[in-house]
Structure 1
Amino acid sequence: MDIETKIKEDMKSLGCNSELKISLTFHLYIHLVDEKLMYDTEYCYNKDIDTLYVVARPSKNDKLNIYVPIPTYDDISLDFINKMQENLCTVETGPTINLAFIESDSTTVIYSFTKGLVERQPPERVIENKAKEERRKFINKELKNQWKEIIDRALNGGIVDDDDCLILD
């Protein structure tokens, strides 16, 4: 029995009966192990939502990430993403879920979705932040334009008027 058959049989034994889901999860598993070189890579099955998925660590010290394989022709809604997050995310994995869109030629593109949207800032705050950014840009531009003169003054002590000096006895 070759390794692909063994892994697919193991996935089926978890409770998944969909050949498509098993095939997609197998491709994702191999992608994460062989191409992304992830650590602690495991495939799992959630019977409540009939979903095969993979958990893996990008590096040894990272938390586990959740990867759900999706065929590229499937329509994905926010409700679907929320359902996946509610059923798969744990304290150990955090609020992020990764959807791995897999093409028929095994091309894989992964998008991350994190629970909890950031509230939109009020218009006054956006204007205020934009003004601050413009001031920063102006100051950085002036510093860049005056850089040579600033360095020369710093290195040469600049020009000192006698009126600015205080003589200590």
Structure 2
Amino acid sequence: MDIETKIKEDMRSLGCDSDTKVSLAYFLYIHLVDEKLMYDTEYCYNKDIDTLYIMARPSKNEKINIYVPVMTSEDISMDFINKLQENLCTVETGPSVNLAFIEGDSTTVIYTFTKDLVERPAAEKVVEQKRRDERRSFINSELKKNKNTILNTALNGGYVDDDDCEVLS
């Protein structure tokens, strides 16, 4: 029995009955092992969402990532991606799922989808925040520039001009 047949039978034994899904997962598995040289590569099946996927580490020290094979002709929705994230992501893998889009000529393009990314703020808020940051930066630089003078004045009791004081009754 050759390796391809063995791996595909192994994938079927996990519970996947679709020849297309098994072929895509096999192709992605070989791509990640032979071309991307990933570590701890293994194929898995989630029966709740009927999905064969691959788990692998890009390097020995990185966290394990999830790779889901998808034909380029398939329509992918945000609901589909959310369903994958809800069912496949764990504390160990983090909130990201990698979709491996596979073309008929074996071209493979991998996109990462991360759950709960923050939406971009409105342009006015960005400008306002930038102004605040610039003002803070200016004040900090002035404080650093005059640090010694401020410290010496504070330690020596300072000098207050009577014109600068207001007497409160």
- TM exceeding 0.5: yes
Q: Which residue of 1 aligns with 2:72?
A: 72
Provide the C-alpha distance between the structure 2 equivalents of 1:132 and 1:110, rounded to a whole number of angstroms. 39
> Which residue number in structure 2 is paired with residue 103 of structure 1?
103
- How far the C-alpha of 1:131 sits from its partner, in A, is 6.2
Cα distance 1:28–1:133, how it changes in 2: closer, same or farther (>3 A)?
farther
Aligned to 2:45: 45
Aligned pair count? 135
Unaligned runs of 5+ in 1: 135-169
Q: Which amino acid aligns with 1:63?
A: K
2:14 corresponds to which letter in structure 1?
L
Residues 10-21 of structure 1 mapped to structure 2, 5 A cutoff: 10-21=10-21
Q: Cα distance, 1:121 vs. partner?
A: 1.7
1:132 deviation in Å? 8.6
Query: How does 1:1-169 map onto structure 2 within 5 Å?
Result: 1-128=1-128
Over the matched positions of the two proteins, sequence identity in percent amounts to: 76
Question: 1: CA distance between counterparts of 2:2 and 2:132?
Answer: 62
Alpha-carbon deviation of 1:127? Answer: 1.6
Give 1:133 deviation, angstroms.
Answer: 10
Letter in 2 for 1:26: Y
Per-residue CA deviations over 1:36-57 (Å, capped at 9, x if unaligned) read 0000000000000000000000
Aligned partner letter, 1:125: K
Measured in 2, the distance between the counterparts of 1:91 and 1:6 equals 31
In structure 2, C-alpha distance between the alignment counterparts of 1:70 and 1:119, rounded to whole Å: 26
Corresponding position of 1:146: none
Provide the C-alpha distance between the structure 2 equivalents of 1:125 and 1:17, rounded to a whole number of angstroms: 51
TM-score after normalising by structure 1: 0.75
Can you list the C-alpha shifts for 1:28-71, whole angstroms capped at 9, x where unaligned? 00000000000000000000000000000000011100000000
Paired residue type of 2:128: E
Moved more, 23-32 or 114-123: 114-123
Q: Which residue number in structure 2 is paired with residue 153 of structure 1? A: none
User: Counterpart of 2:51 in structure 1: which amino acid?
Assistant: T
Give the SS at the match of 1:118. coil
TM-score by length of 2: 0.75
- Residues in 2 aligned to 1:133 and 1:107: alpha-carbon distance in whole angstroms: 45
Partner residue in 1 for 2:158: none
1:54-107 deviation line (CA, Å, top 9, x unaligned):
000000011100000000000000000000000000000000000000011111
Q: Distance in 1 between matches of 2:4 and 2:70?
A: 19
Give the superposition deviation at 1:24.
0.2
Deviation for aligned residue 1:123: 3.5
